[in-house]
Amino acid sequence: MKTVKRIALIFLALLIWTAFVGYGFIDGFLLKPITSQNTSEAFIEATKEKIKEEFVGNLAMTLIENGEVSKDFFYTIDQPVDKNTVFQVASVSKWVTSFGIMKLVEQGKVELDKPIDDYLTRWHLPESEFDNKKVTIRRLLSHSSGLIDDLGYDGYEPHETVQTIEESLTKASDSPYSEGVAIVGYEPGSEYMYSGAAYTILQLLIEEISGQSFQDYMTQTVFEPLDMENSTFVLADKPNLQLAVLYNDDGTISKPNKFTALAAASLFTCTADLSKFLLANVSNKSILSEATIKEMSTAQTFINDFGVYGLGPHLYSQKDSNSTIIGHDGSSGRPVINTAARIDLQSKDGIIILEMGNHNIASNMADEWLFWKAGIADYVVMQRNKSYLLGLLALGCVVILALSIFIIRRN
């Protein structure tokens, strides 16, 4: 009986230790940041080490601290890159587009909760088994409109003809992963489902309400007021920009694609300009009011009770009350683009990473920054710490067993 009790106690101790390590993994308090030093220089050094492990064609990174740019880091295998070098940023375009939409809201020209079809004349949502009147600007901005397009725009090569907005919404020809049809396929407002077509519809809305091209409206409403001189949705309109070399993941060079879906995928910008955009979310020099920024950064859609998307930006703080981190990522398959931008509305710290040639290093390092700065662990940080925590678990089990044997022998 005494032996059984001892075995039971040892097993209980092992179980408690395993539960402790498991909880520390899930909660994050046992995870290690990518660098133990709390300086921009240290994070940049950690980024350099990451770059050594996998191919990157070029990269531009800016760190923001307390509302000011603190450090820049640039990397390239060929042509020089600096803060004014322009990258294609893919879906980061959506966040910038949301500023243009919310300006129309502030001006009283559109209402967030009014049916989108009430504003459109050139194209309308196709009939579905759901009520299209529930598809509103709010739901389009927050990816809760019920659209099931799963776009995903690849764009067009320089020699190809670009579709009109109406043609693209009817059936996008540059959609490699889906049918590319903008149709309501689930109850609007019931759940989060990422939609590229939602932002193409918002692009059409801007043109219909403003009477301007999307490019002209965004230039006058966002780029010029924020002094974003090296930013455009239509590259041909600014042929003299210092464009970064576009790489594929095998090191070959690609040409920039053209897009119908400007609002969803076609922004070209640089870290200097994107820094101004991020800081417009935390300063009184923004083109939008503080109340509007707050509404945009308030959770509109949820996954497992976690707010994941506002009116334009992704939400990254999960349930952490000590931060309000918003932003967006972008990616493309060919050329291989990965971009990430984050800003904490409370601390005014932020990060921008624009990169060509690697599918995920920008997003991964932005997630590492999220844990390094705010202690919010995502999948990337958990995976990096898995070996360390397994080692910690094994070490703890060995210590428990060794102490148990020592105590048993003493008695």
Q: What is the pLDDT of residues 384-405, one digit of tens each?
A: 888 888 998 899 888 888 888 8
Taking residues 263-283, report their average pLDDT: 97
Ordered alpha helix ranges (H), 238-314: 262-265, 271-279, 290-296
Collect all residues with Cβ–Cβ distance below 8 Å to 311 and sequence separation of at least 6. Answer: 98, 102, 112, 138, 141, 142, 295, 296, 298, 300
Give me 22's structure tokens. Answer: 């498991």
Say whether pLDDT at 3 is over 80. no
Say whether pLDDT at 177 is over 80. no
Helix (H, G, I), strand (E, B) or coil at 396: helix
Residue closest to 95 by CA, chosen among 281, 253, 220 = 281
pTM over the 0.85 mark: yes
Taking residues 27-36, report their average pLDDT: 87
Write down the CATH number for the domain with range 32-376: 3.40.710.10
Question: Residue 1 — very low, low, confident or very high, per pLDDT cuts 50/70/90?
Answer: low
Q: Tell me what pLDDT residue 342 has.
A: 98
**Distance between CA atoms of 401 and 411, rounded to whole angstroms?**
15
Taking residues 171-188, report their average pLDDT: 86
Max mean pLDDT among 194-198, 221-225, 253-257 falls in 221-225
**Distance between CA atoms of 336 and 355, rounded to whole angstroms?**
9
Phi and psi, residue 96, nearest 5°? -65, -40
Rg (CA), the chain: 24
Q: Give the rounded percent of residues in the chain with a pLDDT score beyond 70.
A: 99
Q: Tell me what pLDDT residue 337 has.
A: 95
Average pLDDT in the chain: 92
Taking residues 350-357, report their average pLDDT: 97
- 332, containing H or E segment: strand 325-332
Phi and psi, residue 310, nearest 5°? -105, -145
Q: Tell me what pLDDT residue 9 has.
A: 82
Q: Is 107 or 284 the better-scoring residue by pLDDT?
A: 107
Q: Tell me what pLDDT residue 400 has.
A: 86
**Distance between CA atoms of 247 and 273, rounded to whole angstroms?**
22
**115 DSSP assignment:** B
Residue closest to 247 by CA, chosen among 331, 337, 153 = 337
Taking residues 23-48, report their average pLDDT: 90
Sign of the dihedral through C-alpha 199, 200, 201, 203: positive
Collect all residues with Cβ–Cβ distance below 8 Å to 397 and sequence separation of at least 6. Answer: 14, 17, 18
- As annotated, the residues of the chain forming the CATH 3.40.710.10 domain(s) are 32-376
CB 153 within 8 A of CB 177: no
Least reliable range by pLDDT among 143-147, 148-152, 221-225, 369-373 = 148-152
Q: Give the rounded percent of residues in the chain with a pLDDT score beyond 90.
A: 71
Question: Residue 159 — very low, low, confident or very high, per pLDDT cuts 50/70/90?
Answer: confident
Q: Is the peptide bond before 350 cis (omega within 30 degrees of 0)?
A: no
Question: Residue 123 — very low, low, confident or very high, per pLDDT cuts 50/70/90?
Answer: very high
Question: Residue 280 — very low, low, confident or very high, per pLDDT cuts 50/70/90?
Answer: very high
Helix (H, G, I), strand (E, B) or coil at 330: strand
Question: HEC states along 162-183?
Answer: CCCHHHHHHCCCCCCCCCCCCC
CB 364 within 8 A of CB 380: yes
Question: Residue 227 — very low, low, confident or very high, per pLDDT cuts 50/70/90?
Answer: very high
Measured CA distances, 306 to 232, 316, 329, 381 (Å):
33, 9, 18, 18
**Distance between CA atoms of 168 and 172, rounded to whole angstroms?**
4
**Distance between CA atoms of 294 and 306, rounded to whole angstroms?**
17
Q: Tell me what pLDDT residue 154 has.
A: 86
**Distance between CA atoms of 1 and 21, rounded to whole angstroms?**
30
Give me 1's structure tokens. Answer: 């009986």
Taking residues 148-152, report their average pLDDT: 80
| pLDDT tens-digit series, residues 294-338 | 999 999 999 988 899 999 999 999 888 889 999 999 998 889 999
